[in-house]
Amino acid sequence: MDEFGIIARYFAPLATAPGAFGLTDDAATIPARPGFDLVVTTDQVAAGTDFFAEDPASTVAQKALRVNLSDLAAKGARPEYYLLNLALPRPAREEWLAEFTRGLSEDQRQFGISLLGGDTSATEGPLSISITAMGFVPAGRMVTRSGAKLGDAVYVTGTIGDSAGGLALLKGEGKGLSEMDRTYLVDRYRVPQPPVAFGNGLSDIAHAGVDVSDGLIADLGHLALASGVGIVVDAERVPLSPALRRLWGADTLARAVAAGDDYQTAFTAPLGLSGPFTRIGRVQAGEGVNLRVNGEEVVVPQPGYRHF
């Protein structure tokens, strides 16, 4: 089956938006939505770097998509469309494509989005997936990294470090961990859980926001730098799952905040908010990010993932 057959059979059914033309044209259209800005983000993932080549194709698809939905959530945007570039090692296996597109289809239903276009080609290298995701925010209301205000509280959704815990398990750590904890953590590595529905209302409450993908401390550092402020994180407030604590014990906090791949949203907003998030710190004058345990600084061993 060549790429035209692959597109017609596996991808065209995902192109539900009218502007996608059923993937039978050279481009897609997005009608102007007066009063809204289109928010656009793009991320690529590759076998051996962001997932394992032998991971289930459905979770590979969902990870590739959700790392992008995470960016939209952190910006307060409601996702609508995505474009998919797939570089596949030969031969293209139909059962893999069926499972890959099943994962996409499930996420399209869950998040209310449509495939809009893409490109499928063969590669001599590892499987790689490049996705561009798009959504809408009220005009001028994208939650930027630069809007943090002195006195803001710092909040984060979900729990931190689970994905890194799952990766550690897949690399051989934690032999004694229960099957339930193992499943929970590996699932978090394979299928991120970005706060998409929550992100839809983020622009109503947040002054600044960032996608936690490079590591909590590293990404808060990006936000602090863009906002020209300092951030203090109270170590005991960082949300850590019981499974992760059982895996890493006393090292949990130090490893979790330095790991990446969380795909949660960290944001600053007025004190006293409650919702599906945890207050972990505050914005103050200065620069950079301090992590405090009982008033003392903890050294963060690594400032986040770097490719080079």
Residues in region 197-226 near a copy of itself by CB under 8 A: 210-211, 222, 226
42 lines the binding site for a copy of itself (CB under 8 A): yes
CB of 128 to a copy of itself, least distance (A): 6
Stretch that binds a copy of itself, among 114-122, 174-182, 189-197, 246-254 (CB under 8 A): 114-122
Q: Give yes or no for residue 293 binding a copy of itself (CB under 8 A).
A: no
Residue 95 engages a copy of itself in binding (rule: CB under 8 A): no
Q: How far is the CB of 18 from a copy of itself (least distance, A)?
A: 11
List, in order, residues 6 or more apart from 74 with CB less than 8 Å away. 143, 199, 202, 209, 210, 211, 212, 265, 266, 267
37 binds a copy of itself (CB under 8 A): yes
Residue from 101, 108, 130, 241 in contact with a copy of itself (CB under 8 A) = 130
Token code pair at residue 98: 């069926």
- Please give the radius of gyration of the chain, using alpha carbons only, rounded to the nearest integer: 20
Instruction: Please report the DSSP string for 225-241 in residue order.
Output: HHHT-EEEEEGGGS---
Q: Convert residues 244-283 into a mask of x (bound to a copy of itself by CB under 8 A) and - (unbound).
A: ----------------------------------------
Q: Which of residues 13-32 bind a copy of itself (CB under 8 A)?
A: 19, 21, 24-32
Beta-carbon contacts of 71 under 8 Å, excluding residues fewer than 6 positions away, are 41, 43, 133, 211, 213
Contact (CB, 8 A) for 112 and 82: no
CB closer to a copy of itself, 38 vs 170: 38
Q: Which is nearer to a copy of itself, 124 or 296 (CB)?
A: 124
Task: Kindly give, in sequence order, each residue whose CB lies less than 8 Å from that of residue 82, ignoring residues fewer than 6 positions away.
Answer: 65, 68, 113, 114, 115, 116, 131, 132, 133, 134
